[in-house]
């Protein structure tokens, strides 16, 4: 099959999802109103609550939710064939992620921009809120551990990406200084930054940095992991204007450029899919497609992390409530397009099926390395950019995604550790808290072996935890809808499906970890399973309570009632 057909079918499904299904959700389920005074106007403080143009807000939202996960997940999951991954990404985006992201944005905007955590406390109860904190802690922990391994793997397999990866830090430092210290004009700085980044890619392609097999007693892979953790620790304690902010920005620009390059190359070269639609001959040790497919691809199909971004920042900046459709639902579509690009790169970027099978020789193999290799071949034949340089561009893109998420993840987790310590009366300064975060993440990464294998082993666990987070958000949205006496089927179906698949996957993985005598991951699995059962229990109680209670007044009715009471 031709990959352009796949791309066209996928893009059409997602675009139709936006024009038709999101309109249905917006009109019938969430009842978005242009006249509703959003928190950005009601509580405008010029800091958190600021009415923002919907295109700019979509840009923020999309670049905040897009990381390495929608590349890594599909790139691993195509081991079962391209069709299951394609179906889960497209159907998941249209009916699961869109409803989830739009729902969390709507729920938060209708509650003064409160976060999903606070809303869980209000609608599901204090236990729901505690559960939310536990799950978010685990998601961040796994992101930090897994992404360090993803990056180190890319730096080892694509040594041409080493110079642009570390050079991007210098570019970001330059942008930070140019804007805040020298007050340069931002569009000019942006052009210089992007040109500098691509110049570094050219330099890196010319001068690959290959480390010796062992450095300071560590393998090259382990060495990069340690360096990355040290770097992320330093980055997370530096003032944000210096590194994190310009890095996020240049990474956002790079995201749009790289997506354009990849899709442009697919359209021009129109390569055929060499991987089978369904892979009947999966390598030995590959787990069953059900339920693992649905947790291996989390971001790109449905991701709980999006709910955090929706309710954390995006909901506070909605200019009009009806913009939620574009920002929330179309944000999910953007993520789906990234995942679709990863599926095409990893299944159409190889010349023969034998070559593909060689890369996908075991579960967990392939992954982001296959995305770089396959995507590089497509960009090469489509745009005529040399194969090595194309691979370097894609590897740099993937590394920048993962590194930016890691920087932010370590910083956010430092806040969680400081907050947890303050609850028991211990005041941790940011250095000590950062060291604790790094020690835990490194323990997890190296816990399954000196080569850092733990980071990738926990990938499906990351997916499960992320899906649980999405389940918690969906259950909260369902409770709010039930309280308002509105239809909940479009929310209940994804909710039940996600929870069933997550629990099933956890049980399957538990058996695998037990058989491999991997006690660290087994322990983590048990914690997540308890959290999953707890989510189901709490959600069921909250929904049954919401159904029994008399319906809550609609917001406009409530306003009219309170105005009458006042007068």
Nearer to another protein, 270 or 313 (CB): 313
Place of tokens 């691809």: 297
How far is Cα 540 from Cα 250, in angstroms, rounded to an integer? 43
Query: Other C-beta atoms within 10 Å of 151: how many?
Result: 29
CB of 256 to another protein, least distance (A): 11
Helix, coil or strand: residue 215: strand
Whether 439 and 447 have beta carbons less than 8 Å apart is answered as no
Nearer to another protein, 47 or 515 (CB): 47
**460 Cβ contact partners less than 8 Å away, ≥ 6 residues apart:** 292, 295, 296, 505, 509
Residues paired with 318 in a beta bridge: 52
CB of 246 to another protein, least distance (A): 8
How far is Cα 544 from Cα 142, in angstroms, rounded to an integer? 33
Nearer to another protein, 78 or 171 (CB): 171
Nearer to another protein, 185 or 549 (CB): 185
What secondary structure letter does DSSP report for 21?
I
CB of 403 to another protein, least distance (A): 16
Nearer to another protein, 45 or 280 (CB): 45
CB of 380 to another protein, least distance (A): 31
Residues paired with 2 in a beta bridge: 272
CB of 19 to another protein, least distance (A): 24
| Sign (positive or negative) of CA dihedral 398, 401, 405, 408 | positive
CA count, 13 A, side-chain hemisphere, 249: 21
Helix or strand (DSSP H, E) at 219: strand 218-219
Whether 380 and 302 have beta carbons less than 8 Å apart is answered as no
Nearer to another protein, 191 or 533 (CB): 191
CB of 45 to another protein, least distance (A): 9
CB of 179 to another protein, least distance (A): 7
Nearer to another protein, 242 or 527 (CB): 242
Nearer to another protein, 49 or 462 (CB): 49
How far is Cα 292 from Cα 359, in angstroms, rounded to an integer? 20
Nearer to another protein, 255 or 337 (CB): 255
Nearer to another protein, 249 or 534 (CB): 249
Query: Other C-beta atoms within 10 Å of 305: how many?
Result: 23
How far is Cα 209 from Cα 149, in angstroms, rounded to an integer? 18
Residue 218 backbone dihedrals phi, psi, to 5 degrees:
-110, 150
Q: Which letter, b or e, does each residue of 77-102 get, where b requires 16 or more Cβ atoms within 10 Å of its Cβ?
A: bbbbbbbbbbebbbebbbbbbbbbbb
CB of 426 to another protein, least distance (A): 17
**Alpha carbon of residue 200 to chain centroid:** 26
CB of 252 to another protein, least distance (A): 7
Nearer to another protein, 58 or 80 (CB): 58
Nearer to another protein, 273 or 412 (CB): 412
User: Which residues in this chain contact another protein in the complex, by CB under 8 A?
Assistant: 46-48, 50, 52-53, 55-56, 59-60, 64, 179, 185-187, 190, 239-241, 244-246, 248-249, 252, 313, 317
Residue 518 backbone dihedrals phi, psi, to 5 degrees:
-95, 90
CB of 183 to another protein, least distance (A): 12
Q: Which letter, b or e, does each residue of 513-549 get, where b requires 16 or more Cβ atoms within 10 Å of its Cβ?
A: beeeebebbbebbeebbebbebbbebbeebbeebeee
How far is Cα 360 from Cα 358, in angstroms, rounded to an integer? 6
Name which of 73, 141, 156 is nearest 405 in CA terms. 141
CB of 376 to another protein, least distance (A): 29
- The radius of gyration of the chain from alpha carbons, rounded to an integer in Å, stands at 23
Nearer to another protein, 22 or 314 (CB): 314
CB of 44 to another protein, least distance (A): 12
How far is Cα 316 from Cα 114, in angstroms, rounded to an integer? 8
How far is Cα 334 from Cα 326, in angstroms, rounded to an integer? 11
CB of 243 to another protein, least distance (A): 11
CB of 462 to another protein, least distance (A): 23
Nearer to another protein, 48 or 552 (CB): 48
Name which of 365, 369, 366 is nearest 156 in CA terms. 369
């Amino acid at each position: 099959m031709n990959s352009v057909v796949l791309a066209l079918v996928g893009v059409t499904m997602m675009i139709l999802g936006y024009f038709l299904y999101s309109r249905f959700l917006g009109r019938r389920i969430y009842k978005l109103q242009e006249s509703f005074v959003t928190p950005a106007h009601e509580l405008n403080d010029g800091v958190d609550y600021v009415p923002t143009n919907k295109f700019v807000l979509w840009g923020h939202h999309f670049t905040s939710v897009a990381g390495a996960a929608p590349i890594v997940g599909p790139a691993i999951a195509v081991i079962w064939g391209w069709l299951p991954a394609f179906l889960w990404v497209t159907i998941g985006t249209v009916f699961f992620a869109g409803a989830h992201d739009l729902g969390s944005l709507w729920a938060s905007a209708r509650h003064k921009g409160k976060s999903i955590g606070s809303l869980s406390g209000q609608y599901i109860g204090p236990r729901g809120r505690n559960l939310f904190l536990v799950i978010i802690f685990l998601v961040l922990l796994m992101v930090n551990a897994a992404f360090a391994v993803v990056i180190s793997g890319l730096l080892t397999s694509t040594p041409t990406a080493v110079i642009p990866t570390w050079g991007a830090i210098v570019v970001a430092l330059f942008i930070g200084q140019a804007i805040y210290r020298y007050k340069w004009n931002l569009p000019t700085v942006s052009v210089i930054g992007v040109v500098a980044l691509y110049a570094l890619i050219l330099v890196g392609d010319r001068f690959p940095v290959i480390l010796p097999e062992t450095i300071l007693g560590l393998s090259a892979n382990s060495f990069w992991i340690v360096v990355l953790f040290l770097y992320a620790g330093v980055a997370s304690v530096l003032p944000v204007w210096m590194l994190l902010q310009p890095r996020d920005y240049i990474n956002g620009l790079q995201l749009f450029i790289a997506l354009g390059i990849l899709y442009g190359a697919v359209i021009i070269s129109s390569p055929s899919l060499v991987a089978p639609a369904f892979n009947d001959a999966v390598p030995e040790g590959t787990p069953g497609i059900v339920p693992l497919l649905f947790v291996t691809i989390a971001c790109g199909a449905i991701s709980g992390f999006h709910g955090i971004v929706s309710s954390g920042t995006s909901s506070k900046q909605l200019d009009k409530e009806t913009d939620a459709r574009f920002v929330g639902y179309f944000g999910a579509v953007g993520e789906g397009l990234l995942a679709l690009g990863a599926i095409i790169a990893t299944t159409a970027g190889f010349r023969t099926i034998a070559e593909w099978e060689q890369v996908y020789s075991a579960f967990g193999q392939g992954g982001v390395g296959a995305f770089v290799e396959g995507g590089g071949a497509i960009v090469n034949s489509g745009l005529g950019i040399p194969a090595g340089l194309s691979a370097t561009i894609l590897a740099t893109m993937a590394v920048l995604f993962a590194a930016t998420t890691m920087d932010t993840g370590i910083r956010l987790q430092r806040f969680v550790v400081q907050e947890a310590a303050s609850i028991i009366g211990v005041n941790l300064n940011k250095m000590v808290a950062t060291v604790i975060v790094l020690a835990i993440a490194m323990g997890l990464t190296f816990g399954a072996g000196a080569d850092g294998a733990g980071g990738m082993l926990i990938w499906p666990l990351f997916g499960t935890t992320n899906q649980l987070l999405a389940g918690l958000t969906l259950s909260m949205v369902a409770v709010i809808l039930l309280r308002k006496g509105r239809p909940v089927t479009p929310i209940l179906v994804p909710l039940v499906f996600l929870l069933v698949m997550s629990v099933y996957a956890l049980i399957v993985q538990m058996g695998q970890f037990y058989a491999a005598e991997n006690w660290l991951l087994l322990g983590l699995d048990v914690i997540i399973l308890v959290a999953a059962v707890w989510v189901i229990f709490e959600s069921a109680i909250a929904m049954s309570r919401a159904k029994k209670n008399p319906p809550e007044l609609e917001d406009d009715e409530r306003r009219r009632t309170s105005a009458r009471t006042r007068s």
